[in-house]
């Protein structure tokens, strides 16, 4: 045997262990030889006999067929070895990626044989193509992301930066790559920045996040959220930094404006409350004086007791006093101190309210069903809770239907954020299509009742909202109403 044949024999034996097929073309005899592994790769039978032309037919991909033909002809004519990656279509019509190596055998200046190796690399190539796709995707994200992304050496000098970072700082890419993180960081934040950078280098941290100030090209201060991480080699040695920056400048400027508006609004509210206090105090004094003068006038002139004009003046003074009282209640709600909040047993307050209203409950033959738990508590101002319960229960009695006995259900449901008190009756009901928007308005009434003032629900809503809660209503005319009081659950 010659040296080439020995080498080919060695390749055949090695292929069985390395899953690599060997092949040989004898140009003198015009024969092609495939080893069993090569046949297995092509998915043909063990006794398959193949010509050179038939072998080329497995290359249905035109690019692969052309590359194989060129490489094979160069091996024969120019005596060049080749190592190429191409795609074949097997006998079972399955596409595979293969590595094809060809080595020409030269005798007396002429190629007499070509032998080589055939290896199935489909799995590796599929993984490579997927990795290439992902790398391309990551590169597109890096280049086009609005987030600023950069890489810097251990001294902080930038060597790669995306368009997003350039836009944040106002630099062109070439300018950006002449900068270091020290150049970009606000001077007052530099010492703190150096501290966490050293922690990353020393391995005390794997990443660091913070909001910090930076310097724009124009000299203005900008704000950003930084995610900084350390890239290391396989031995854990620090190589370089990767930073991701989200521009928060607009958010900071918006917050600054909001704070300014809030300060102005707070100041205006304080002035309005002071004005309301002064007005309610002064009006109350004048109202009291009017009432006192009117009483003195009637004492000194008893004949005026039956005077129609005096009676009208007296009614107007009484109405004025009541209005001032209501206004004062509203002012007191708006200036409520959270220090007055207590942990209150809801059941006890409902029982007390029912006892307070026991006379009118009996007079109106009301059935009250209270299923509230004994130990249920809410955080609330005591006076507010008394007022809310009194208003809602007395309203149910006041606006009962004459067609049926009043039935009032009191029960509670619990939600994550709220404890909800239901006050449900079968009274007159409210036309919500007409009155929903004005239901809780001041001096809004919906029934012709002599005691209607239109202030109770207004005050109730303000008291509930002052404590962080809310009130809702469901109602049908001549069916009844359900008021739902949402107490903020702070448990």
Q: What is the CATH number for 26?
A: 3.30.450.20
Contact yes or no for 99/85 (Cβ under 8 A): yes
- pLDDT single digits (tens) 258-279: 887 777 666 666 665 555 555 5
Give tens-digit pLDDT for 439-488. 776 544 555 555 545 567 888 888 888 888 999 999 899 899 999 999 98
**Do 474 and 353 belong to one domain?**
yes
pLDDT class for 215, splitting at 50, 70, 90?
Answer: very high
Residues 216 and 303 in one domain: no
Residue 165 falls within a domain, yes or no? yes
Across 228-250, average pLDDT: 88
Candidate from 114-118, 126-130, 269-273 with smallest mean pLDDT:
269-273
Most confident of the ranges 267-276, 336-345, 410-419: 410-419
- Above 50 in pLDDT, residue 1? no
Task: Let me know whether 26 and 168 are in one domain.
Answer: no
Q: What domain range includes position 198?
A: 145-247
Q: 348 and 478, same structural domain?
A: yes
Please check whether residues 353 and 462 belong to one and the same domain. yes
What pLDDT shows up at residue 489? Answer: 80
For the chain, report the end-to-end CA distance as a whole number of angstroms: 93
This prediction's pTM: 0.40
Render pLDDT for 150-185 as a digit per residue (tens, 0 to 9).
Answer: 889 999 999 988 888 899 999 998 999 999 999 999
Task: Examine the domain organization and report whether 429 and 304 are in the same domain.
Answer: no
The b/e string for 415-454 (b: 16+ C-beta within 10 A; e otherwise) is eeebbbbbbbbbbbbbebeebeeebbebebebeeeeebee
pLDDT value at residue 342: 86
Helix, strand counts (H, E) of the chain = 16, 17
Last residue of a domain, one of 312, 334, 356: 334
266 and 236 in a common domain: no
Nearest to 372 by CA among 395, 397, 344: 344
Torsion 381-384-390-393 (CA) sign? negative
Predicted confidence (pLDDT) at residue 205 exceeds the cutoff of 80: yes
For the chain, the domain total comes to: 4
pLDDT band at residue 339 under the 50/70/90 scheme: low
Alpha carbons 355 and 349: distance in angstroms, whole number = 10
Residue 132 lies in a domain: no
My answer on whether 150 and 184 are in the same domain is yes
Lowest mean pLDDT among 125-139, 159-173, 215-229: 125-139
Domain match, 70 and 164 both: no
Backbone φ and ψ of 47, nearest 5°? -95, 15
If asked whether residues 223 and 268 sit together in one domain, one would say no
Has residue 101 been placed in a domain? yes
Predicted local confidence at residue 425, as pLDDT: 93
* The last residue of a domain, from among 247, 282, 308: 247
Question: Tokens 């031995």 belong to which residue?
Answer: 235
Within the chain, what is the greatest distance between any pair of CA atoms? 153
Which pLDDT band, with edges at 50, 70 and 90, does 14 fall under?
low
Arithmetic mean of pLDDT, 311-332: 60
Q: Is residue 139 part of a domain?
A: no
Same domain (yes/no): 14, 109: yes
- Per-residue pLDDT, 129: 82
| Residue 323, pLDDT score | 56
Give me the DSSP letters along 228-291.
EEEEE-TTS-EEEEEEEEEE-HHHHHHHHHHHHHHHHHHHHHHHHHHHHHHHHHHHHHHHHHHH
In a domain, 320, yes or no: yes
What is the pLDDT, as a whole number, of residue 301?
Answer: 76
What tens digit of pLDDT does each residue of 288-321 get? 666 676 677 677 777 767 777 666 666 666 656 6
Residue 130 in any domain: the answer is no
Q: What is the pLDDT of residues 420-435, one digit of tens each?
A: 999 999 998 888 887 7
CATH number of the CATH domain containing 477: 3.30.565.10
**Which of 196, 213, 247 is a domain's end point?**
247
Quote the CA–CA distance of 412 and 419 in Å, as a whole number: 7
Rounded mean pLDDT of 77-91?
A: 94
pLDDT at residue 290 in the model: 64
Q: 42 pLDDT exceeds 60?
A: yes
Confidence band for 351, pLDDT divided at 50, 70 and 90 = very high
Considering the domain architecture, whether residues 259 and 351 belong to the same structural domain is answered as no
In a domain, 211, yes or no: yes
**128 found inside a domain:** no
Half-sphere exposure of 182 (CA within 13 A, CB side): 9
pLDDT of 9 higher than 80: no
Contact of 24 with 8, CB cutoff 8 Å: yes
Predicted local confidence at residue 451, as pLDDT: 52
Mean pLDDT computed over 87-107:
94
Q: What whole-number percentage of the chain has pLDDT above 70?
A: 77
Backbone angles phi, psi at 178, to 5 degrees: -95, 0
Mention every residue, 6+ apart, whose C-beta is less than 8 A from residue 288. 321
Q: Which residue has the higher pLDDT, 92 or 324?
A: 92
**How much is the pLDDT for 138?**
63
């Amino acid at each position: 045997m010659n040296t080439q044949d020995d080498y080919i024999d060695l390749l055949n034996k090695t292929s069985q262990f390395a899953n690599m097929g060997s092949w040989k073309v004898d140009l003198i005899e015009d024969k092609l030889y495939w080893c069993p592994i090569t046949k297995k790769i092509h998915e043909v039978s063990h006794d398959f006999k193949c010509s050179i032309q038939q072998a080329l037919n497995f290359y249905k991909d035109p690019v692969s067929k052309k590359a194989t033909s060129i490489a094979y002809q160069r091996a024969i004519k120019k005596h060049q070895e080749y190592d190429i990656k191409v795609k074949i279509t097997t006998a079972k019509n399955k596409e595979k990626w293969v590595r094809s190596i060809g080595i020409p055998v030269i005798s007396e200046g002429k190629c007499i044989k070509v032998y080589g190796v055939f290896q199935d690399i489909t799995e590796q190539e599929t993984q490579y193509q997927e990795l290439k796709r992902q790398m391309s995707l990551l590169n597109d994200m890096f280049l086009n992301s609005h987030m600023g992304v950069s890489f810097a050496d251990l001294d902080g000098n930038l060597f790669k930066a995306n368009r997003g970072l350039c836009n944040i700082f106002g630099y062109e890419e070439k300018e950006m790559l002449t900068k270091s993180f020290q150049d970009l960081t606000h001077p007052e934040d530099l010492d703190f920045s150096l501290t966490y950078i050293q922690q990353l280098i020393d391995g005390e941290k794997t990443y660091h996040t913070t909001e910090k100030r930076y310097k724009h090209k124009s000299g203005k201060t900008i704000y950003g959220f930084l995610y900084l991480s350390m890239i290391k080699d396989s031995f854990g040695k620090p190589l370089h930094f990767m930073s991701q920056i989200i521009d928060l400048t607009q958010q900071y400027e918006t917050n600054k404006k909001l704070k300014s508006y809030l300060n102005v609004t707070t100041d205006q509210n304080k002035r309005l409350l002071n004005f309301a206090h002064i007005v309610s105090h002064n009006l109350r004094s004048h109202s009291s004086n009017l009432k006192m003068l009117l009483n003195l006038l009637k004492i000194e002139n008893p004949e005026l007791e039956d005077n129609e004009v005096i009676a009208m003046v007296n009614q107007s003074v009484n109405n004025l006093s009541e209005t001032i009282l209501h206004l004062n209640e509203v002012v007191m709600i708006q200036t409520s101190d959270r220090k007055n909040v207590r942990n209150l047993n809801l059941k006890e307050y409902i029982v007390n309210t029912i006892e307070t209203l026991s006379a009118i409950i009996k007079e109106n033959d009301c059935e009250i069903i209270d299923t509230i738990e004994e130990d249920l508590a809410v955080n609330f101002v005591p006076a507010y809770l008394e007022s809310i319960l009194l208003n809602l229960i007395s309203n149910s009695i006041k606006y009962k239907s004459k067609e049926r006995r009043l039935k009032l259900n009191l029960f509670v449901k619990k939600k994550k954020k709220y404890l909800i008190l239901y006050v449900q009756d079968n009274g007159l009901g409210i036309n919500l299509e007409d009155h929903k928007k004005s239901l809780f308005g001041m001096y809004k009434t919906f029934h012709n009742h002599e005691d209607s003032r239109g202030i109770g629900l207004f005050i109730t809503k303000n008291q509930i909202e002052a404590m962080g809660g809310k009130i809702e209503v469901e109602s049908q005319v001549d069916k009844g109403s359900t008021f739902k009081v949402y107490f903020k659950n702070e448990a």
